[in-house]
Amino acid sequence: MTKWVYLFKEGDASMRNLLGGKGANLAEMTKLGLPIPQGFIVTTEACNDYYARGRQVTDEVKAQISDALAELEKEQGKKFGDNENPLLVSIRSGARASMPGMMDTVLNLGLTDVAVEGFAARTGNPRFAYDSYRRFIQMYADVVMEVSKEKFDVVFDAVKEEKGISLDTDLSADDLKEIVKGFKEVYKKELGEDFPQDPREQLLASITAVFRSWDNPRAIYYRRMNDIPGSWGTAVNVQAMVFGNMGDTSGTGVAFTRNPSTGEALIYGEYLINAQGEDVVAGIRTPNPISHLEEDMPEVYQEFMRIAHLLEDHYKDMQDMEFTIEDRKLYILQTRSGKRTAHAALQIACDLVDEGKITKEEAIKRIDAKSLDQMLHPGFDDKVIKASTPIGSALPASPGAAAGRVYFNAEDAKKAGDRGERVILVRLETSPEDIEGMHASKGILTVRGGMTSHAAVVARGMGVACVSGCAEVGINEADKYFTLGGETIKEGDYISLDGTTGNIYLGDIPTVEAGISGNFDRIMHWADEIRTLKVRTNADTPTDAANAIKFGAEGIGLTRTEHMFFEPDRIPKIRKMILSSTAEAREAALEELIPFQKQDFKGIYEVMEGRPVTIRFLDPPLHEFVPTAKADIEALAKDMGLTYDEVKAKCDSLHEFNPMMGHRGCRLAVTYPEIAKMQTRAVMEAAIEVKNERGFNIIPEIMIPLVGEKRELKFVKDVVVETAEAVKKEMNSDIEYHVGTMIEIPRACLLANEIAEEADFFSFGTNDLTQMTFGFSRDDAGNFLDAYYENKIYESDPFARLDQDGVGQLVKMAAQKGRATKPELKLGICGEHGGDPSTVEFCHNVGLNYVSCSPFRVPIARLAAAQAVLNNK
Ligand code: ADP
Ligand code: MG
Ligand code: MG
């Protein structure tokens, strides 16, 4: 029989896949002898089983839950469902990877109308009993029955207002009784039934709700953003309650063993007296810093510090802990490796190595490669900042500089982001529903909340700048404006946020580029020592190339030559070439282009100082270059001595039904070999001149796109070689050069053994390869992919993360077939995927020589390549 349920004392940290992160760590802490309220875990496999059976929990699972509950009752000396001394539990989700805010917790489960009386009598604290009950009803309604929290907040706030009370903690037992009554009425009104009075029914419905929440849209979105497979499932933790809301000797809090924003090696935390659960992170009251606990309850503070250090030493990583104090007794409710900014991640990794706690290799493995992107984000221009006066200042919750237009809800923020605007989201506080809007924002400003509030945690995870807890802000979300420092800022106005200092400025402050230094540089060097995969960049201009070198690029894997033709002084010439009706006329037009193209290549060769450079020959369909505006057509007609109608007709004749699969790539060179000749001449002359002038050892790599057949490649290659040899002779040079191909058509993968006979190298163009393998275009896929994610047909965007099952199989096959023909064949990837960590690992495993990605992703690829080596050890 499968074991679907584990007591905390039956598990440990190694069982994360089965017990989820939270459950495995609760089990591990139990083993370490720490003060953990006991409980049991319904496994991730039970969740998968629930989905496999069309959302059914089997009797077998239910029976095992009952058995575990009986064990827990024995241990706690209390009965679940008892009316005098009831055992109350929390229901907590916990997937393998932590998904903060994605799934919700139910506390105080087991209370009923009768039990709450017994509970009040037993504890001698009716206020506390009713506070627990009202929380339970609201959470249960929200999480299990999907009735929005606000419906209850209305009742709650009305009572507070009626009594003239501003702090929740000032509500009396009778006030809370009244609130419970009101809550039950809301429940009945919304759901047409009474609040359930059978604790077992409450329990089962809650467990099922956690399973169900695994597939809510927020969770699916979070998984897609973080490469978490849907097949992992979530576990459910059922845990005996401890109470932070018992009065002034109780409380609840969260803490990090190091600063999650800067990495500073100081315990960092916040707590609230007489509070429960999410009160701290929800920003309802402003919490106290952990240092206050030393005065409030010195013994608890000492104990807390002891455990914090113990946990960090045990896990050898910065921990994010949740704790509750029940009448001066400390309980730990959670520990996990804390989310942190990239800046903090690098600091902590270096510190832990220096403290001798972990090796360089472990340090490398720990860092989320994707997060390095944050390090490359620009900061504010120092000069402008010094000359500006902030209109306000609050907690620097997530570092980085952001300037943009203000929006007041997630939906507006997302829409503005989609329009290409830079967005600053301003909210009273954020909630998990806001996640897409937060993602679309450059910066987030909240009125409520501390360093561990939802906004702060999520913003740090996303690398979005965040300033939180700015109580001076007077916000009107409905009318879309806020006031601060005597200014009124309306929707669409610009503000600037400094997430590193917490300062808020009026207007659009310019930002400056980042570089690699300090800890970042140190870790990058460690990564370089470990990795075997080379990292190149995709760069079309000397500026991009120079930037990429700053970030550690070792060469260029893709220079697209067509962009060079779009500049105003060139486009008329390329148009003339395209519209020429004879080869002679075309050659004459191309002749004019050579000097431009040669200059471009020289610029790149000079910047690259002898590092390898792959230049791809003209790729897009020609119609992309021809004019559509009347004035442009007229100008071209004049230049070519033709009539307007003649030119117009020629342009129209270039129309294709399916240009992505039309007259483009090497097909252009097959029909117009002069184009390949011109480009070869430009590449070779540029290389020879820079080599002669600067002494760099340049070996040009000429790349023919969109090849699907060996003879096709040979045809173009013969043109290239003939021209290249001619140039060499003319310039009296013995320069070496390579001719290779992009592999981006499925047929090329299938026949890679033949194609390799004519190629010095392959570079996988996984954008086209993905599009042609899936049979949908990347420009149109956005229209329907959302439905695919929602229905769990695809989990991620195949254009962002390489589809290893399908497209990956083609890559692997082509690599093997190519090398079977030519063992020394050089292999690389130059699609967008080249900077995606999971794809980098795949490329390493398949034996490619290099990945090539956009300049800003070069550090990510360097780290991911090192991680690939370590993951295979
Ligand atoms: P999340 O995954 O969103 O952090 P948790 O399952 O950790 O959700 O629950 C949120 C909070 O609820 C905890 O930080 C803790 O304060 C409170 N909580 C959960 N279980 C218990 C419990 N058994 N006793 C007291 N408080 C609890
Ligand atoms: Mg939560
Ligand atoms: Mg938690």
Ligand 1 in reach of 11 Cβ (< 6 A):
no
Ligand 1 in reach of 458 Cβ (< 6 A):
no
Asked if 60 contacts 354 with a C-beta cutoff of 8 angstroms, the reply is no
Mutation test residue for ligand 1: of 22, 92, 458, the one with most atoms within 8 Å of CB:
92
pLDDT of residue 461: 67
Q: Which of 186, 187, 237 is nearest to 210 (CA)?
A: 237
Asked if 492 contacts 406 with a C-beta cutoff of 8 angstroms, the reply is yes
- Indicate the DSSP class of residue 834: G
Cα–Cα distance for residue pair 427/406, rounded to 1 Å: 10
Q: How many angstroms from the chain centroid is the CA of residue 145?
A: 30
Cα–Cα distance for residue pair 257/404, rounded to 1 Å: 33
- Closest ligand to 106 CA? 1
Cα–Cα distance for residue pair 727/683, rounded to 1 Å: 10
Which residue owns the Cα nearest ligand 1 atom 15? 277
- Angle, alpha carbons 450-105-457 (nearest 5°): 30
Cα 342 to middle of ligand 3, angstroms? 22
Ligand 1 in reach of 322 Cβ (< 6 A):
yes
Asked if 57 contacts 63 with a C-beta cutoff of 8 angstroms, the reply is no
pLDDT of residue 101: 54
In ligand 1, which atom is closest to the CA atom of 99? 2
In ligand 1, which atom is closest to the CA atom of 237? 6
Which residue owns the Cα nearest ligand 1 atom 10? 277
Cα 105 to middle of ligand 3, angstroms? 9
Asked if 559 contacts 635 with a C-beta cutoff of 8 angstroms, the reply is no
How many C-beta atoms surround the C-beta of residue 150 within 10 A?
Answer: 9
Which residue owns the Cα nearest ligand 1 atom 2? 100
Q: Give one DSSP letter per residue of 518-549, joined into a string.
A: HHHHHHHHHHHHH--SEEEEE-SSHHHHHHHH
pLDDT of residue 100: 60
Tokens of 343: 């800046």
How many C-beta atoms surround the C-beta of residue 653 within 10 A?
Answer: 10
Ligand 1 in reach of 245 Cβ (< 6 A):
no
pLDDT of residue 501: 84
The contacts of residue 708 (CB under 8 Å, 6+ apart) are 745, 747, 748, 751
173 burial (CB, 10 Å; 0-12 / 13-18 / 19+) is middle
- Closest ligand to 91 CA? 1
Q: How many angstroms from the chain centroid is the CA of residue 38?
A: 34
732: left (phi over 0), alpha (psi -120 to 50) or beta: left
In ligand 1, which atom is closest to the CA atom of 276? 16
Tokens of 747: 């047929």
Mutation test residue for ligand 1: of 88, 334, 335, 435, the one with most atoms within 8 Å of CB:
334
Ligand 1 in reach of 839 Cβ (< 6 A):
no
In ligand 1, which atom is closest to the CA atom of 334? 7
The contacts of residue 356 (CB under 8 Å, 6+ apart) are none
Helix H or strand E encompassing 30: helix 16-31
- Closest ligand to 23 CA? 1
Instruction: State pLDDT tens for residues 208-243.
Output: 999 998 998 888 888 888 889 999 999 999 999 999
Cα 99 to middle of ligand 3, angstroms? 10
Tokens of 78: 């209390």
Q: Give one DSSP letter per residue of 637-674, joined into a string.
A: HHHHT--HHHHHHHHHHT--SSGGGSS-THHHHHH-HH
- Bridge partners of residue 321, in order along the sequence: 255, 335
| 122 φ, ψ (degrees, to nearest 5) | -60, -45
Tokens of 142: 């929200």
Which residue owns the Cα nearest ligand 1 atom 24? 241
Ligand 1 in reach of 391 Cβ (< 6 A):
no
pLDDT of residue 374: 79
Asked if 548 contacts 858 with a C-beta cutoff of 8 angstroms, the reply is yes
Ligand 1 in reach of 324 Cβ (< 6 A):
yes
Q: Which of 743, 751, 771 is nearest to 843 (CA)?
A: 743
Asked if 749 contacts 743 with a C-beta cutoff of 8 angstroms, the reply is yes
Ligand 1 in reach of 239 Cβ (< 6 A):
yes
Tokens of 150: 């606000």
Cα 412 to middle of ligand 3, angstroms? 29
Ligand 1 in reach of 333 Cβ (< 6 A):
yes
Ligand 1 in reach of 457 Cβ (< 6 A):
no
Cα–Cα distance for residue pair 802/834, rounded to 1 Å: 9
How many helices and strands in the chain, by DSSP H and E? 34, 31
pLDDT of residue 29: 98
In the chain, the amino acid numbered 206 is S
In ligand 1, which atom is closest to the CA atom of 39? 23
Ligand 1 in reach of 290 Cβ (< 6 A):
no
Helix H or strand E encompassing 489: strand 487-490
Which residue owns the Cα nearest ligand 1 atom 18? 277
In ligand 1, which atom is closest to the CA atom of 89? 23
> At CB < 8 A and 24+ separation, what contacts does 150-158 make?
151/186, 151/190, 152/183, 152/186, 155/179, 155/182, 155/183, 155/185, 155/186, 156/182, 158/182
Asked if 450 contacts 456 with a C-beta cutoff of 8 angstroms, the reply is yes
- Closest ligand to 320 CA? 3
Does this model's pTM top 0.85? My answer is no
| 853 φ, ψ (degrees, to nearest 5) | -145, 175
Cα–Cα distance for residue pair 105/278, rounded to 1 Å: 9
Active-site residue list: 454, 830
Tokens of 420: 């290409």
Ligand 1 in reach of 37 Cβ (< 6 A):
yes
C-alpha distance from residue 218 to each of 49, 151, 223 (Å):
22, 21, 9
Cα–Cα distance for residue pair 381/267, rounded to 1 Å: 32
Which residue owns the Cα nearest ligand 1 atom 3? 101
Ligand 1 in reach of 242 Cβ (< 6 A):
yes
Mutation test residue for ligand 1: of 278, 329, 457, the one with most atoms within 8 Å of CB:
278
Task: Find where tokens 């990837």 sit.
Answer: 829
The contacts of residue 858 (CB under 8 Å, 6+ apart) are 535, 537, 548, 551, 552, 553, 835
Compute the Cα dihedral for 61, 63, 68, 73 and give only its sign.
Answer: positive
Which residue owns the Cα nearest ligand 1 atom 8? 105
Q: Which of 44, 94, 381, 104 is nearest to 237 (CA)?
A: 94
Cα–Cα distance for residue pair 636/575, rounded to 1 Å: 8
Ligand 1 in reach of 674 Cβ (< 6 A):
no
Ligand 1 in reach of 21 Cβ (< 6 A):
no
Tokens of 708: 């699907």
Asked if 41 contacts 237 with a C-beta cutoff of 8 angstroms, the reply is yes
| 240 φ, ψ (degrees, to nearest 5) | -60, 135
Compute the Cα dihedral for 765, 770, 776, 777 and give only its sign.
Answer: negative
Cα–Cα distance for residue pair 303/501, rounded to 1 Å: 32
Cα 23 to middle of ligand 2, angstroms? 15
For the chain, helix, strand, coil in percent to 5 are: 50, 15, 30
Cα–Cα distance for residue pair 365/800, rounded to 1 Å: 22
pLDDT of residue 535: 98
In ligand 1, which atom is closest to the CA atom of 103? 3
Mean pLDDT per segment of 10 residues, for the chain of length 873 residues?
97 97 97 98 97 96 98 96 95 87 83 96 94 96 92 94 89 96 97 97 96 89 86 96 93 95 92 87 80 94 97 96 96 94 93 96 94 81 86 88 95 94 94 85 90 78 85 93 95 94 93 83 97 96 90 96 81 88 89 93 97 96 86 88 90 88 94 95 98 96 98 98 98 97 98 98 96 89 86 88 96 98 97 90 97 92 98 89
| Strand positions, DSSP E, 227-318 | 234-240, 251-256, 268-273, 288-289
Helix H or strand E encompassing 600: helix 583-608
- Bridge partners of residue 252, in order along the sequence: 272, 324
Cα 469 to middle of ligand 1, angstroms? 22
Cα 338 to middle of ligand 3, angstroms? 11
Cα–Cα distance for residue pair 126/117, rounded to 1 Å: 8
Cα–Cα distance for residue pair 395/500, rounded to 1 Å: 9
pLDDT of residue 283: 64
- Indicate the DSSP class of residue 801: S
Ligand 1 in reach of 241 Cβ (< 6 A):
yes
pLDDT of residue 469: 87
Mutation test residue for ligand 1: of 128, 284, 322, the one with most atoms within 8 Å of CB:
322
CA end-to-end span of the chain: 35
